[in-house]
Amino acid sequence: MKVLLIIGPTGIGKTNLSIEYSKRNDNCPVIVLDRIQCYSEMSILSGRPSDLEFKGINRIYLSNLYLKDGKDINKDFLMKRLIEILNDIKQSIKKSIYNSSSQISNSKSFDCIIEGGSITLINELFLNQEKYLTKIDISSIIYLRPEDSVDNQKKYYLKIKKRVKEMCFPTDSSSDSMIKEVQRILKSNSNCPSIKDILNFLVKDVAINKVINYIEYVNRNGTQNDIKLNSINNTLIKNITMGHYNYAYSQVKVFDSLVKNLPSNIYLSTKNILI
| Tally of structural domains, the chain | 2
For position 131, which CATH number holds? 3.40.50.300
What pLDDT score does 269 carry?
A: 97
For residue 218, give its domain range: 150-247
Assess whether 7 and 101 both reside in one domain. Answer: yes
- Is the CB of residue 114 less than 8 Å from the CB of residue 239? no
Assess whether 30 and 142 both reside in one domain. Answer: yes
| pLDDT digits 0-9 by tens, 176-186 | 888 888 888 87
* Residue, of 245 and 236, whose pLDDT is higher: 245
Assess whether 178 and 236 both reside in one domain. Answer: yes
If one counts every other C-beta atom within 10 angstroms of the C-beta of residue 200, the result is: 17
pLDDT of 67 strictly over 60: yes
Q: Which of 163, 162, 148, 156 lies closest to 49, judged by CA? A: 163
Q: CA 224, CA 82: separation in Å to the nearest integer?
A: 50
Assess whether 16 and 74 both reside in one domain. Answer: yes
Assess whether 130 and 167 both reside in one domain. Answer: no
Assess whether 199 and 65 both reside in one domain. Answer: no
pLDDT of 218 strictly over 80: no
Q: CA 32, CA 245: separation in Å to the nearest integer?
A: 21
Assess whether 101 and 188 both reside in one domain. Answer: no
**Burial call 73-88: b when 16+ CB within 10 Å, e when fewer:** beeeebbebbeebbee
End-to-end, the C-alpha distance of the chain in Å comes to 34
Cβ neighbours of residue 110 under 8 Å, at least 6 residues apart? 2, 3, 4, 21, 25, 28, 139, 140
| pLDDT digits 0-9 by tens, 93-133 | 888 776 665 455 556 789 999 998 789 899 988 888 777 76
Q: Which of 6, 11, 72, 8 lies closest to 243, judged by CA? A: 11
Write the burial class of residue 154 (CB in 10 Å: 0-12 exposed, 13-18 middle, 19+ buried): exposed
Assess whether 191 and 105 both reside in one domain. Answer: no
